[in-house]
Amino acid sequence: MENNREQWSSKASFILAAAGSAVGLGNIWKFPYIAGENGGAAFLFIYLICILLIGLPILNIEILLGRATKKNPVGAFKTLTNNPFWKYVGALGVLASFTILSFYSVVGGWSLAYTYEALIGTFNTPAFNTPLTAGDFFNLKNSNPLWVLGYHTLFLSIVVLILLSGVRAGLEKASKFLMPILLFILLILVVQGLILPDANKGVSFLFQPDWSKINGQTILLALGHAFFTLSLGMGAMMTYGSYLSDNDDIVNASYLVAFLDTVIAILAGVAIFTVVFSSGYDPTAGPGLVFHVLPPLLSDLTGGYFFAFLFFLLLSIAAITSGISILEVSVAYLVDEKQYSRKKAVLIMASMVYLVAIPCALSFNLLSDFTFSFQDKAFTFFDIADYLASNILLPFGGFFLAVFAGYVWGIDEVVRNLLIGESNSIYFGNTVFENKKFKSFFNFTVKYICPVLIFLVFLYSIGWI
């Protein structure tokens, strides 16, 4: 085991960084619109079950694999088994990190761009009178390749600057500084949402389930999103876990990270739906909810200039703290496996992501007609990257993680390792894990529920069921 590997300076730092990875565009951009399209509370309910049954066990396992081996995903599997197959599963994570960042960085760029537009008061101009005109503004801006590429470059440069400083001075400091700001802004937005007229309609949309809305698709969507939102299936949590010391606990940290991530998604839902419902708008606006619907609604409020700016700043911060964790997977791979210096690894991987992301950025202008059809839909490069990562690579990675923990490493070994770390054994050793019922529950979810459900999602996402 390497001694010179950087480590988080405290358990709290790890929790903040892991929560920073989990809380991202998935919580603030994606969760509200997919909940909006799929029945609000009914979707939320299924999503919570997926987090508990599948997200939490896999989160524990990912962090554990990192902490136990102190390696990137490829190295972690290489350390634990001689079977070369698993090394390719780790490599899949490195590939997923490229694919996700290539579209994530474009949306991160939009968030930065809208923070700037909010700052210069664009949302108070006639272009933002209605969501329809705001949509035209968004499309017009995106039709300029230099605009999209410029903001994508800015986003990636911020990620690179943070990563160049290393684990403690970069990843840890950025999360410690940015996460409290994120929470603070979100709370301001929630309070302003709740005092709007008819805010209760937005709240009940999120909390009063309409069970008729639940169908196979809702379940599969919720499961896929549980993976994306907890940063699971591609080794991001494994890489962050590799910077933990053996004394740090994993079980408590996983609970906290999943809890923070879920609470933040729900709060973002409250902040957004109270505004949408109090203005009488449709919550099912889809991916444009945040960029088309919200700016005109927010800017109509008293103090709207300020709230719109805060909202896009929040979105940008969330995207940055997740973006750094995505790129860190490939950086750790080059540093551990190819013995590159951190600086060289960051610059090489960022340049590669930059190139891969260009077709995604051009999907809204020069390459918008360059589409591939699949399941009767036309997919641009951007859509392909999103689809491939969220619906194929992440669930695939999660499936193999569960199989590895349940059948290759073995549940006894997983539980024995999980109990290493001070408070794990104090809180969980004597109570939860030594309680046979819990261990058999853990065994059952990891060995059967996770692989079977994930496999179903996978079949669904490639259109086979």
Binding site for ligand PFF (CB under 6 A): 21-22, 24-27, 100, 228-229, 231, 234, 236, 322, 325-326
- Closest approach, Cβ 407 to ligand PFF, in A, equals 24
Q: Is the CB of 43 or the CB of 228 nearer to ligand PFF?
A: 228
Q: Round to whole Å and give the CA distance between 24 and 231.
A: 9
**How far is residue 334 CA from its own chain's centroid?**
23
Q: Which is nearer to ligand PFF, 22 or 358 (CB)?
A: 22
Which lies closer to ligand PFF via its Cβ, residue 193 or residue 398?
A: 398
For 134, counting Cβ atoms within 10 Å of its Cβ (0-12 exposed, 13-18 middle, 19+ buried), the class is buried
In angstroms, what is the minimal distance from the CB of 145 to ligand PFF? 25
Task: State the nearest-atom distance from the C-beta of 271 to ligand PFF, in Å.
Answer: 16
- Name all contacts of 158-162 with Cβ < 8 Å and 24+ positions apart: 158/320, 158/323, 159/105, 159/320, 159/323, 159/324, 159/327, 159/350, 160/327, 160/346, 160/347, 160/350, 162/320, 162/324
Q: How far is the CB of 338 from ligand PFF (least distance, A)?
A: 21
CB of 298 to ligand PFF, least distance (A): 21
Q: Residue 104 Cβ, how far from ligand PFF at the closest point, in Å? A: 7
Which lies closer to ligand PFF via its Cβ, residue 97 or residue 380?
97
Instruction: Answer whether 286's CB lies under 8 Å from 33's CB.
Output: yes
CB of 100 to ligand PFF, least distance (A): 6
For 149, the token pair is 């590429």
Q: What minimum distance in Å lies between the beta carbon of 318 and ligand PFF?
A: 7
Nearer to ligand PFF, 104 or 281 (CB): 104
- What is the rounded distance in angstroms from the CA atom of residue 99 to the CA atom of residue 382? 10
**Measured CA angle at 17 (ends 390, 333), to 5 deg:** 65
Taking the C-alpha atoms of residue 111 and residue 114, their distance in angstroms, rounded to an integer, is 5
Between 175 and 322, whose beta carbon lies closer to ligand PFF? 322
Query: Which of residues 100 and 415 has its CB atom nearest to ligand PFF in the complex?
Result: 100
26 or 170: whose CB is closer to ligand PFF? 26
Residue closer to ligand PFF by CB (options 27, 105) is: 27
Q: How far is the CB of 277 from ligand PFF (least distance, A)?
A: 24
